[in-house]
Amino acid sequence: MSDSPAGKTILITGANRGIGLALAQRLQALGAEVIAVCRRSSIDLDALGVEVIDGVDVSDQQQVEGLARKLEGRNIDWLVNNAGILERDTLEPLDVAAIERQFRVNTLGPLMVSAALLDRFAAGSKVFVITSAMGSIGDNTSGGYYGYRISKAAVNMAFKSLSVDLAPRKVGAYMLHPGFVSTDMVNNQGEIAPETSAAGLVERMIELRIEDSGTFRHARGHNLEW
Ligand SMILES: NC(=O)c1ccc[n+]([C@@H]2O[C@H](COP(=O)([O-])OP(=O)(O)OC[C@H]3O[C@@H](n4cnc5c(N)ncnc54)[C@H](OP(=O)(O)O)[C@@H]3O)[C@@H](O)[C@H]2O)c1
């Protein structure tokens, strides 16, 4: 059974640029009521005309709780935890501060936002995290990127636990890899445009069922190894 975004309330973090903005555009075009959450809005996001909630750093618990208060009484059908950072941290010397920053934004961010919004979900709601194949232990043949890889592997574990804990409420939790996407994060050197990634991600969001909760999937549709 298709789970169309039309008429759904869909909250996206990091919606001011990159993949988050492309998701907001795509989902709005499909008839969703998009809540675009960001630290600061952008010309492109403002032009979209969706509801924008700015001033939300996902690594700041007080700001995340402020977001939850603003949404009191509203139902959220899909939550898309997209905000993230990548730093090219080093081993020699080990850049501990960079690893901690990435863990806070990429791991604690999605977990804090999801936890703060738990009461906004109903049976059938879906919680996504835009994670990365860089967080796959089995797929790691090139090393490096300590903070990014650790933070994405850890958020996968967090979302696996969420999938178990939210199952009694019939709320699904899913991990999605967007592909190698030309955004600021990768100096626009990716293989696909944000719009192409967003189209694939939205297809997955539509087709993933409660039975699939806890899976780690590529935007193109196949499962990824942990
Ligand atoms: N691009 C790729 O090839 C690729 C591959 C795998 C996974 N991903 C994942 O896809 C997601 C989106 O990445 P992207 O490529 O679109 O990167 P991007 O263009 O750099 O955009 C990152 C977004 O995250 C937001 N953000 C960063 N730190 C934040 C914080 N502390 N609080 C709130 N928002 C914050 C940014 O907002 P500001 O404008 O305020 O900084 C921006 O909206 C990330 O989770 C990334 O890890 C990307």
Write out pLDDT tens, residues 164-192: 999 999 999 999 999 999 999 999 999 99
Ligand 1 atom with minimal separation from the 179 CA: 5
Residue type present at position 107: T
How far apart CA 34 and CA 51 sit, in angstroms, is 6
Residue type present at position 95: D
Tell me the sheet residues that pair with 34.
Answer: 10
Mutate to test the pocket of ligand 1, among 11, 13, 16, 19 (most ligand atoms within 8 A of CB): 19
How many CB atoms are closer than 10 A to CB 25?
A: 20
Whole-number Å distance, alpha carbon 211 to ligand 1 midpoint, is: 28
Helix (H) or strand (E) holding 218: strand 216-218
pLDDT in tens, 102-147: 999 999 999 999 999 999 999 999 999 999 999 999 999 999 999 9
Give first-to-last CA distance, the chain, whole Å: 28
Q: Per-residue pLDDT averaged across 25-37, rounded?
A: 98
Pair 16, 42: CB distance under 8 Å: yes
We find that the CATH architecture of domain 9-218 is 3-Layer(aba) Sandwich (3.40)
Residues with catalytic function:
148
User: Is the model's pTM score more than 0.85?
Assistant: yes
Whole-number Å distance, alpha carbon 83 to ligand 1 midpoint, is: 4
pLDDT score at 136: 98
DSSP SS3 for 4: coil
Mutate to test the pocket of ligand 1, among 13, 79, 85, 189 (most ligand atoms within 8 A of CB): 85
